[in-house]
Amino acid sequence: MKTGFVAFHYPDAAHREEFVARVQRVAEVFRQTPGCLAADCWLTDDAVVSTVQWDSPEAQEAALATVMTAAADDIVYDDRETRPREIIRLVAA
């Protein structure tokens, strides 16, 4: 069963490009994990949106553990963001 998530990040305008680079680095780590089908970075007027899709819940769990180790500095919430992130977990229908 495929799983995924969509995460909305709200960086301060002064840090938007830096934040895009952070999300892109994390997406690259996700792409290298077994079972990752896609990892992308999208933009809206006020958000940087990350999307990731896996072929199984087990692959998702393993990938999240890998990212927590390999890209921990890029995933930490900090004062460069204007409001909390919104993370929506997905399961294929």
What's the pLDDT tens digit per position in 10-22? 999 999 999 999 9
Give the Cβ contact number of residue 25 at 10 Å. 17
How high is the pLDDT of residue 72?
73
Global pTM reads 0.90
Rg of the chain over all Cα atoms, to the nearest angstrom: 13
Determine the Cα–Cα distance for residues 92 and 81; give it in Å rounded to an integer. 30
Which pLDDT value is given to residue 40? Answer: 98
Q: What is the pLDDT of residue 78?
A: 83
Amino acid at 26: V
Q: What is the pLDDT of residue 43?
A: 98
Taking phi first (over 0 means left), then psi (-120 to 50 degrees means alpha), and beta for anything else, what does residue 70 get? alpha
Give tens-digit pLDDT for 40-88: 999 999 999 999 999 999 999 999 999 988 877 778 888 889 999 999 9
